[in-house]
Amino acid sequence: MDLVRKVMNRIDPDLYRYQAGVTGHIFNTVGSGVKGGGTPGYACYGATKRGLPQLTESLVKELDEGVQGYEKKQTPGKIQVHSLSPGMVFTKLLLDDSTPELRKFPFGVLAAQPEEVAADLVPKILATTKNGGSVEFLTTDRILNKFFERFVLQKKSEYIDDDGNVIKVPGEQYDELGVRSLY
């Protein structure tokens, strides 16, 4: 090793090394209202979420093509912007101000636990290589499957009981809204 070290110390590192640009990925989280449908009770929330794919789309074009009349920005690091859709997750954001009816449907059918959503989405985030990508938990396939299990197979929800209450798993901690503590 000592010999290797001596030899390598004599070689200018610039001869065999160079700076390569790194690609950074930005993900913007969308939510209810993003596709333009009304979100009664959540007018502000829906309006902010509806704007995000438009923002992402603008940035994708700015990054890929630049802005007309200006020189396209050249940077050593590359940037990509994408959309991220976790769907409905059993968190404070979902359960706050909710009713038993809402918890039975849609939450009881479509909502998932944070760990399940993250385990599905992070590999998809890491696999995203094209600017303007879209990563989602509730794919059409998954929605159809959940509807089939609930309404055709009559399978009960693991998380919401028949009265629309959060099912509390023994050993886990829940707050007054029924949000499970993750730590």
- Which residues are tagged catalytic? 45
d(CA 23, CA 18): 16
Q: Which of residues 82-101 bind another protein (CB under 8 A)?
A: 84, 86, 89, 91-93, 96-98
Using the rule CB under 8 A, is 28 a contact of another protein? yes
Cα three-residue angle 118-119-121, rounded to 5 degrees: 60
User: Considering only CA atoms, which of 139, 94, 88, 85 is closest in space to residue 109?
Assistant: 88
Tokens of 173: 């901690």
User: Considering only CA atoms, which of 77, 86, 75 is closest in space to residue 125?
Assistant: 86
Half-sphere CA count of 63, side-chain side, radius 13 A: 21
Count of residues in contact with another protein, rule CB under 8 A:
65
> Taking the complex as a whole, how short is the minimal distance between the CB of residue 165 and another protein, in angstroms?
18
Using the rule CB under 8 A, is 16 a contact of another protein? yes
Catalog residues that contact another protein under the rule CB under 8 A. Answer: 1, 4-5, 7-9, 11, 13, 15-29, 31, 41-45, 47-49, 51-52, 55, 59, 73, 75-79, 81, 84, 86, 89, 91-93, 96-98, 114-115, 117-119, 121-123, 125-126, 181-183
